[in-house]
């Protein structure tokens, strides 16, 4: 086999999360990885392909630590929805999908993320009533075709939303109780077998698309099922991801069912570890954060989704102080309506700054950028290969156009990347040494053809999911009085005790 030619990137400015400046630097790429980074004039093999990065700011590809590939065809479908209304709307907005639809939904998200400077994601995807080898293969293919990296975790459970919240089923009128029965999930055994089969026959290069296991929400699963998910993930050496303490209603259900927080319960079950990622963690108390930190676990912080669904504001500073690895995500387009990691970084910074007057406790833009790159990389299980532009790391690099208005003037690289940039300066994107976005277009993608395909699919799904939409409209009232009822129960999260003096927490949390 012929030796792959090296690539030398010359003339760009390289951002560094630790510093505020972006120095001129050349990057030598060999194969799919970074060989060397050095000052302008870095020696390179005579036959190296040269990339001119003049007037470009280079940053490591952003990494989305929590999103849902199935949600991309559902953007903008809801407005005043809590998490519980979103879950109830699921069969309508993300249901009745064919294999082709699963591919297309995932693919549209991959295209969006690449165009917005994101090169890898943790995708918690779902199939009803259980994951399938073909479905996961279709989603994996979407990422491989788009040229982006992904950790693909089938989101699995044993109990439907209606079965998982004690009392909710009884609150529905009998005819509706019967109706929601058709939303029953497959038995846990079948679901575990499907995941095992998929992982055994995995055909994708694990450096690009790798599997993981996502027991969706602890109280949607039996303890035995949660344990078996962890055993399966560890047998195949893949990640574990779950939505934990995302909404207050969930917290109240968890306390009722376990007599302790979900995180304390997951610790008892043996789930916590460096391979475990908490999705959201809005309602973690200090002890929960300590548990996660002690086990080297991660939190995927999704500030946009947390606000959009009225879940409150997560305390990323508290997590970092307790050595939790914090990554940043967008959550699904079905609940945060875009997959823009620049926006997520900006919101992570803002959310931190709304939580008290002590500026020392606010996240710095450098911390936010580190979370969206190195922190997310670690959550994905790629901590030693992604998230940095440094020798030995994969060559996943975003090139921003410094002539874009976002950079006029160029005062401070990291502050502007987190607070000013919105994705519109993304000029090109490299994944594994290969340009997948050039001059603001994804290589080889005909956007007009894609738009046509998406519209045809949207139209068909609108018809196919009509009964599910009608069912949602019938249960909406009940869900929307029952779940906020849970959320209004008194519960105080002690986040600012233990040495941190009485800050008023800005989330609605403290006002109930």
Residue span 215-254 as binding mask against Zn ion, x where in contact by CB under 5 A, dash where not: ----------------------------------------
Task: CB nearer to Zn ion: give 293 or 329.
Answer: 329
Q: What is d(CA 56, CA 46) in angstroms, rounded to the nearest whole number?
A: 24
Task: CB nearer to Zn ion: give 84 or 331.
Answer: 331
Q: What is d(CA 207, CA 432) in angstroms, rounded to the nearest whole number?
A: 10
Residue 218 has what DSSP assignment? G
Beta bridge partners of 15: 22
Task: CB nearer to Zn ion: give 30 or 125.
Answer: 125
Residue span 330-359 as binding mask against Zn ion, x where in contact by CB under 5 A, dash where not: -x----------------------------
Minimum Å distance from CB 332 to Zn ion? 6
Task: CB nearer to Zn ion: give 82 or 365.
Answer: 82
DSSP H or E stretch at residue 198: helix 188-200
Minimum Å distance from CB 255 to Zn ion? 21
Residues 297-336 that bind Zn ion (CB under 5 A): 331
Task: CB nearer to Zn ion: give 331 or 343.
Answer: 331
Q: Are 221 and 258 in contact (CB under 8 A)?
A: no
Minimum Å distance from CB 306 to Zn ion? 10
What does the block give as tokens for 64?
A: 């989305």
Distances (CA, A) of 204 to 67, 142, 148: 20, 11, 12
Q: What is d(CA 188, CA 404) in angstroms, rounded to the nearest whole number?
A: 51
Minimum Å distance from CB 280 to Zn ion? 7
Q: How many CB atoms lie within 10 A of CB 497?
A: 10
Q: What is d(CA 460, CA 96) in angstroms, rounded to the nearest whole number?
A: 10
Task: CB nearer to Zn ion: give 315 or 331.
Answer: 331
Minimum Å distance from CB 279 to Zn ion? 5
The DSSP secondary structure of 81-139, one letter per residue, reads --HHHHHHHHHHHS-S--HHHHHHHHHHHHHHHHHTTEEEEEEEE--SSS--HHHHHHH
Q: Are 173 and 479 in contact (CB under 8 A)?
A: no
Q: How many CB atoms lie within 10 A of CB 196?
A: 14
Minimum Å distance from CB 194 to Zn ion? 21
For Zn ion, how many residues bind (rule: CB under 5 A)?
1
Helix extents (H) in 201-239: 223-235
Task: CB nearer to Zn ion: give 300 or 377.
Answer: 300
Minimum Å distance from CB 32 to Zn ion? 30
Residues in contact with Zn ion by the rule CB under 5 A: 331
């Amino acid at each position: 086999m012929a030796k792959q030619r090296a690539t030398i990137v010359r003339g760009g400015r390289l951002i560094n999360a630790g510093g505020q400046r972006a120095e001129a630097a050349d990057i030598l790429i060999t194969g799919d990885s970074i060989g060397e980074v050095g000052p302008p004039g870095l020696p390179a093999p005579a036959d190296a392909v040269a990339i001119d990065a003049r007037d470009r700011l280079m940053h490591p590809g952003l990494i989305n630590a929590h999103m849902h590939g199935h949600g991309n065809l559902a953007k903008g479908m809801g407005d005043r929805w809590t998490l519980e209304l979103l879950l109830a709307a699921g069969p309508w907005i993300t249901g009745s999908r064919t294999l082709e639809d699963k591919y297309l939904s995932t693919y549209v998200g991959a295209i969006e993320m690449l165009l917005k400077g994101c090169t890898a994601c943790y995708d918690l995807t779902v199939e009803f009533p259980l994951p399938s080898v073909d479905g996961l293969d279709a989603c994996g293919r979407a990422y491989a075709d788009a040229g982006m990296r992904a950790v693909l975790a089938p989101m699995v459970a044993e109990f439907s939303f209606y079965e998982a919240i004690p009392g909710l089923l009884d609150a529905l009128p009998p005819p509706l109780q019967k109706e929601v029965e058709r939303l029953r999930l497959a038995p846990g055994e079948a679901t575990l077998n499907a995941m095992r089969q998929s992982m055994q026959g995995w055909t994708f290069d694990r450096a690009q698309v790798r599997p993981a296991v996502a027991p969706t929400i602890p109280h949607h699963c039996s303890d035995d099922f949660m344990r078996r998910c962890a055993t399966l993930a560890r047998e195949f050496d893949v990640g574990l991801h779950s939505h934990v303490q995302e909404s207050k209603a969930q917290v109240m259900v968890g306390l009722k069912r376990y007599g302790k927080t979900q995180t304390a319960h997951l610790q008892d079950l043996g789930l916590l570890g460096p391979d475990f990622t908490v999705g959201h963690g809005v309602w973690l108390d200090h002890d929960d954060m300590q548990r996660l930190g002690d086990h080297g676990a991660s939190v995927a912080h999704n500030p946009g989704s947390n606000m959009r669904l009225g879940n409150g504001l997560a305390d990323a500073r508290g997590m970092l102080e307790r050595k939790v690895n914090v990554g940043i995500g967008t959550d699904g387009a079905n609940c945060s309506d875009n997959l823009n990691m620049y926006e997520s970084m900006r919101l992570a910074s803002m959310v931190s700054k709304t939580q008290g007057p002590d500026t020392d406790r606010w996240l710095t833009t450098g911390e936010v950028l580190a979370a969206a790159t190195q922190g997310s990389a670690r959550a994905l299980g790629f901590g030693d290969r992604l998230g940095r532009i440094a020798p030995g790391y994969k060559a996943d690099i975003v090139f921003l156009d410094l002539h874009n208005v976002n950079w006029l003037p160029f005062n401070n690289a990291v502050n502007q990347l987190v607070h000013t940039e919105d994705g519109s300066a993304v000029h090109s994107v490299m994944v594994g040494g290969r340009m997948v976005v050039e001059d603001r277009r994804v290589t080889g993608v005909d956007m007009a053809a894609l738009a046509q395909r998406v519209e045809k699919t949207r139209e068909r799904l609108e018809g196919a999911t009509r009964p599910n939409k009608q069912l949602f409209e019938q249960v909406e009232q009940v869900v929307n009085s029952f779940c906020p009822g849970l959320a209004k129960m008194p519960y105080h999260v002690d986040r600012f005790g233990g040495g941190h003096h009485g800050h008023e927490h800005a989330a609605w949390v403290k006002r109930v």
